[in-house]
Chain A
Amino acid sequence: MAHERLLPRQYMILALVAVCAPLGDTCLSRGMTSLPAIVLAHPGTLIAAVFTPWIAVGIALLIGFFASYLTALSWADLTFVLPATAFGNMIVEVLARFWLHETISWQRWLGVVLITVGVGFVAQGPSLTEHSKVIPDHGRPIEEEIPQ
């Protein structure tokens, strides 16, 4: 679990979790912005977009993210893995700024920092919340943590 010492291979998996999703989203964005504007009247163009190179690379990276995310969850708590995904928001902004050359205002940076702090705040709590259970003899509810 999270408090145990991680192996180098496990650090590599966490790095993949943090990097694959933002990189995949950036590839999707790179591919979609190079296409002409798509309208809902022609939904077939959205499906055809899946077979363009940048979108295909994006999908492959998102599959890589999902695989590494599930692998990380098999030996770490969700609350340990979640900050890695939240940190992806910062990577997305950096990639959008320096690779896609998007203009990012200071308000947008502030927004991303607040979101990352918000997700990190959840990560400090339990992955499973407590449920109350009633004892038949006394009728008083007691708090019992769900086994993980």
Chain B
Amino acid sequence: MTHPSLWSATAMIAAVVLCSTAGEVLTAAAMKSVGDLDEIRAHSGIKGAIRAVLTCPLFFAGVSFLALAFFSLLLALNHLNLSLVAPASASLTLVTNAIAGKIFLKENVDRRRWTAAVLVCIGVYFLAH
């Protein structure tokens, strides 16, 4: 295994986190724009529900970013230790999702979640050492 510099390690983990966040926010926005799948299924059947999801451009944008996140994860695992990449990318995605959820999806992120985000950030700081 190669030993990349701090900057390239940070860039690889940041790529995983940002692509995951973009993918999850776009997928969440797509599912909100599609509406309640149970209602659609009751009205138009399972094919109607699948059609409703597959005809939503936001859904494909989200899936594309999630695919990019997966390949970024593979690249990161090619150069960095699993014990750093897995917890750091998963937990930082939690933090960026909270921020993106508040900004883009207008979700109400309460104090408890911000406290958790701070704990996660301190945890990632220790992970990197």
Identify the A interface with B (CB < 8 A): 22, 25-26, 28-29, 32-33, 35, 37-38, 40, 43, 46-47, 49-50, 55, 88-89, 92-93, 95-97, 100, 102, 104-105, 107-108, 110-115, 117-119, 121-122, 124-125, 129-131
Residue of B nearest to A37 (CB): B2
Interface magnitude class on chain B: 35 or more
Which residue of chain B lies nearest to A110 when distances are taken between CB atoms in the complex?
B126
The answer to whether the Cβ of B120 comes within 8 Å of any Cβ in the partner chain is yes
Closest Cβ neighbor of A35 among chain B residues: B78
Flag if A112 contacts B87 (CB, 8 Å): yes
Q: Chain A binding site: helix, strand, loop or mixed by DSSP?
A: helix
Which of B22-30, B51-59, B111-119 lies at the interface with chain A?
B111-119
Task: Write out the residue numbers on chain B whose beta carbons fall within 8 Å of the beta carbon of A119.
Answer: 91, 94, 116, 120
CB-nearest residue of chain A relative to B95? A118
Determine the chain A residues whose CB is within 8 A of the CB of B104 once the complex forms. none
A148→B126 CA distance, assembly (Å) = 37
